[in-house]
């Protein structure tokens, strides 16, 4: 059987650029080479794309000549990618680009998991791993995600959203007072669209709340304030399209007061506890909540569903869904599947299968009106 040509897309302009390289390196070494022929596509910090069909160390890919994205986003294949640098060999990058069966995007944060990249891949008519445009965008937006989760009857922490320049109009102090009266203190203040805890802070006093709003506003025009919960952090990995499955739950034990950027990527004392220490009923509850949350946000392929488990009440709150979770071999998502009986290389196979399945199902949908239907306005009589 011919090998499937997989494009591994990594890097990106977000603060998670380096994490993406580590994730992609793990994926590259675990992909079964008897089944897949891998092309590497690296996006550098300036947003330039670099492409090679050869197996190179990933940081080297980023040093290769860059290629241009299609100037017109209506181009139907990534074949439109051409080298920008005079003298660069045009054949290698464009040949690699033209021959992909499926893309595995592992770019975290803005421009990678917010639906924009997914939109580009849709236009290119390429199957890709993970959620589609709409769900990716929803999972990235903490305000919209909470509205949909709450609407589906799922437990989320009480929150208030400041959108559309309201912070600028009303001023930070007025916003802080409003937030304090609606959700109280202590509170967590977050840019609606962010990742890796950037721009997020905890406020215990009014002065801190004002400062936290100012900080979050620098990262997004839309900011949310939510009630702080004294909680353990439990995560569940979900995998699938129409019939998603949930892994066993795992727990994050950060030594710092909250699981911030430092704790996530630089603090070796952050521990993963798999399985999480929950009783059997709680384990079943969290797994079904994870699947319900996945469905509520119309996720496909995969997502990591993160919960806050309140210590005093032993209640779960859905904190957020991550459409492209960390994928290093010590990351929670693949670890949870490994502990649930699905080893890392098989997980990759499954994700690729799900991507192809989704693309295939979509390509079978009608795109034209039924032949018998007359276009609007073409009928007889008054119009």
Ligand X SMILES: Nc1ncnc2c1ncn2[C@@H]1O[C@H](COP(=O)(O)OP(=O)(O)OP(=O)(O)O)[C@@H](O)[C@H]1O
Report if residue 161 touches ligand X, rule: CB under 6 A: no
Considering only 139, 157, 247, 283, the residue that binds ligand X (CB under 6 A) is 157
Shortest reach from residue 235's CB to ligand X, in Å: 9
Helix then strand then coil, in percent of the chain rounded to 5, is 35, 20, 45
Considering only 210, 212, 296, 308, the residue that binds ligand X (CB under 6 A) is 308
Report if residue 258 touches ligand X, rule: CB under 6 A: yes
Task: Lay out the site mask for ligand X across 223-242 (x = CB under 6 A, - = otherwise).
Answer: ---x-xx-x-x---------
Shortest reach from residue 45's CB to ligand X, in Å: 19
Comparing CB distances to ligand X, the nearer of 322 and 331 is: 322
Shortest reach from residue 254's CB to ligand X, in Å: 7
Shortest reach from residue 195's CB to ligand X, in Å: 4
Between CA 174 and CA 159 the distance in angstroms is 16
Between CA 40 and CA 54 the distance in angstroms is 8
Comparing CB distances to ligand X, the nearer of 36 and 162 is: 162
Cis preceding linkage at 275, omega within 30: yes
Question: Which residues make Cβ contacts (< 8 Å) with residue 367, sequence separation at least 6?
Answer: none
Shortest reach from residue 305's CB to ligand X, in Å: 11
Report if residue 60 touches ligand X, rule: CB under 6 A: no
Q: What is the 8-class DSSP label of residue 165?
A: T
Between CA 77 and CA 159 the distance in angstroms is 42
Q: What is the 8-class DSSP label of residue 332?
A: H
- DSSP string spanning 18-40? HHHHHHHHHHHHHS-TTTEEEEE
What angle in degrees, to the nearest 10, is found between the helix axes of 116-123 and 133-140? 170
Between CA 90 and CA 88 the distance in angstroms is 6
Considering only 94, 136, 193, 322, the residue that binds ligand X (CB under 6 A) is 322
Comparing CB distances to ligand X, the nearer of 93 and 326 is: 326
Comparing CB distances to ligand X, the nearer of 8 and 200 is: 200
Comparing CB distances to ligand X, the nearer of 226 and 300 is: 226
Shortest reach from residue 328's CB to ligand X, in Å: 14
Report if residue 31 touches ligand X, rule: CB under 6 A: no
Helices and strands (H and E) in the chain: how many: 13, 15
Residue with tokens 């004002």: 210
Considering only 36, 104, 188, 337, the residue that binds ligand X (CB under 6 A) is 188
Report if residue 112 touches ligand X, rule: CB under 6 A: no
Question: For residue 347, what is the enclosing H or E element?
Answer: helix 344-363
Query: Which ranges of 301-343 would DSSP assign to H, the alpha helix?
Result: 332-339
Task: Lay out the site mask for ligand X across 189-228 (x = CB under 6 A, - = otherwise).
Answer: -x---xxxx--x-------------------------x-x
Question: For residue 209, what is the enclosing H or E element?
Answer: helix 206-219
Shortest reach from residue 379's CB to ligand X, in Å: 52
Residue numbers at the binding site for ligand X (CB under 6 A): 157, 188, 190, 194-197, 200, 226, 228-229, 231, 233, 258-259, 306, 308, 319-320, 322
């Amino acid at each position: 059987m011919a090998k499937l040509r997989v494009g591994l897309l990594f890097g990106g302009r977000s603060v998670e650029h380096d994490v993406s390289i580590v994730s992609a390196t793990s994926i590259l070494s675990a992909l079964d080479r008897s089944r897949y022929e891998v092309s590497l596509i690296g996006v550098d910090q300036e947003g330039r794309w670099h492409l090679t069909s050869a197996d190179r160390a990933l940081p080297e890919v980023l040093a290769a000549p860059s290629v241009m994205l299609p100037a017109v986003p209506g181009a139907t294949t990534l074949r439109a990618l051409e080298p920008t640098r005079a003298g660069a060999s045009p054949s290698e990058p464009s040949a690699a680009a033209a021959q992909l069966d499926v893309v595995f995007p592992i770019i975290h944060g803005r421009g990678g998991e917010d639906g924009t990249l997914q939109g580009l891949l849709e236009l290119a008519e390429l199957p890709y791993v993970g959620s589609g445009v709409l769900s990716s965008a929803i999972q990235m937006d903490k305000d919209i995600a909470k509205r949909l989760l709450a609407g589906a009857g799922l437990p989320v922490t009480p929150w208030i959203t400041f959108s559309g320049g309201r912070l600028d109009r009303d001023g930070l102090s007025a916003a802080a007072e409003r937030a304090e009266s609606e959700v109280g203190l202590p509170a967590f203040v977050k840019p609606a669209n962010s990742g890796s805890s950037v721009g997020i802070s905890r406020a215990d006093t009014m002065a801190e709340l004002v400062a936290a709003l100012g900080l979050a506003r620098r990262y997004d025009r839309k900011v949310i304030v939510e009630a702080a919960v004294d909680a353990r952090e439990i995560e569940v990995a979900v995998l699938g399209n129409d019939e998603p499955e949930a892994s066993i739950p795992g727990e994050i034990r950060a030594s710092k007061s909250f699981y911030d950027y430092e704790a996530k990527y630089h603090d070796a004392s952050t521990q993963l506890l798999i399985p999480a220490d929950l009783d059997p009923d709680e384990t079943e509850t969290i797994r079904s909540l994870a699947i319900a949350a996945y469905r509520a946000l119309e996720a496909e392929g995969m997502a990591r569903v993160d919960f806050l488990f309140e210590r005093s009440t032993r209640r779960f709150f859905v904190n957020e869904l991550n459409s492209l979770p960390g994928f290093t071999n010590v990351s929670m998502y693949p670890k949870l599947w490994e502990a649930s009986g699905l080893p890392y290389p098989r997980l990759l196979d499954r994700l690729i299968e799900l991507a192809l399945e989704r693309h295939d199902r979509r390509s079978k949908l009608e795109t034209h009106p039924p032949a018998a239907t007359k276009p609007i306005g073409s009928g007889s009589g008054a119009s």
